[in-house]
Amino acid sequence: MKPGPILAIVAGVLVNIGVVLVVVYAMVIGTASSRLPWKSVNESFALRPVLDVRDAPCAAGWIAGQDNAACYQLDQATNITAEKATASFGASSGQWVIQVTLNEADGREFTALTEKVHQLPQPRNQLAIVIGGKVISAPAVLEPIPGRTLEITGGFDRKTAEELAARLGGG
Contacts of 127 by beta carbon, 8 Å cutoff, 6+ apart: 47, 48, 49, 50, 113, 114, 117, 138, 139, 141
Nearest CA among 42, 60, 63, 41 for reference residue 51: 63
The pLDDT tens digits of the residues spanning 76-134 come to 998 888 889 999 998 888 899 999 999 899 999 999 999 999 999 999 999 998 988 89
Given this model, what pLDDT does residue 24 score? 42
Other beta carbons less than 10 A from residue 118's beta carbon: 15
Across 120-151, b (16+ Cβ under 10 Å) vs e yields: eeebbbbbbbbbeeebbbbbebeeebeebebe
Percentage of residues of the chain with pLDDT beyond 70 = 74
pLDDT range class, residue 166, cuts 50, 70, 90: confident
